[in-house]
Amino acid sequence: MARILVLHGPNLNLLGTREPGLYGSMSLTDIHQALVPLAAAAGHVLDTFQSNHEGALVEYIQQHGVGAALLIINPGAYTHTSVALRDAILGVGLPTIEVHLSNVHQREPFRHHSYLADIALGQVIGFGHHGYSLALQAACHWLTQQTG
Ligand code: CA2
């Protein structure tokens, strides 16, 4: 049994309420509820957290990252700005999968760079809420490879 953290950055609490054309119509609660049985089927548990504050995300990673096996994170706009999030992930040595709902490479140039891309196991980009399931599937596969 492994603990997998699922983190969401700023404004993702608005999911399902605004901009459904860009970000879909599922809320974070809907997404979490869809992920829990997938994780359970693989024998894993999920902890989830969303914050609009960079420091709160850093503190969550520091406090919960040590006991966890893997992090799935959509850092929102902090993807493109946050050395602090990168350092927190490196600091606890947490294997990380980066998720984006939208295809950031089809959007403004400032969204093309990610401070996590080169330290992540991989990225899932552009598949809407389904990206979280894909990331969890990749996480389960990766954990199986590590532990046998
Ligand atoms: O595509 C993604 O998942 C993003 O991480 C979403 C961020 C954006 O800054 C990144 O470049 C790409 C924005 C999240 C905003 O979420 C909202 C959800 C519903 C309504 C309004 C905003």
- List, for residues 98-136, the tens digit of each pLDDT value: 999 999 999 999 999 999 999 999 999 999 999 999 999
Q: CB under 6 Å to ligand 1: residues? A: 11-12, 14-15, 18-19, 23, 74, 76-77, 79, 100-102, 104, 111
Closest ligand 1 atom to the C-alpha of 10? 14
CB 27 within 8 A of CB 15: yes
Which of 18-27, 100-109, 135-144 comes out lowest in average pLDDT? 18-27
Shortest CA distance to 55 belongs to which of 71, 78, 74, 72? 78
The pLDDT of residue 120: 98
Nearest-CA residue for ligand 1 atom 13 is 76
Helices 54-64 and 83-92, interaxial angle, to 10°?
0
Closest ligand 1 atom to the C-alpha of 19? 20
For the question of whether the overall pTM of this predicted structure is more than 0.95, the answer is yes
The pLDDT of residue 40: 98
Give the mean model confidence (pLDDT) for residues 35-49.
98
How far apart are alpha carbons 94 and 102 in whole angstroms? 24
How far apart are alpha carbons 140 and 144 in whole angstroms? 6
**Higher-confidence position of 18 and 134:** 134
Neighbours of 123 (CB within 10 A): 18
Which string of DSSP letters, residue by residue, matches 88-145?
HHHHHT--EEEEESS-GGGS-GGGS--SSGGGSSEEEESSTTHHHHHHHHHHHHHHHH
User: Which H/E stretch holds residue 71?
Assistant: strand 70-74
How far apart are alpha carbons 53 and 123 in whole angstroms? 22
Give the mean model confidence (pLDDT) for residues 76-87.
98
Instruction: Decide if 129 is catalytic.
Output: no
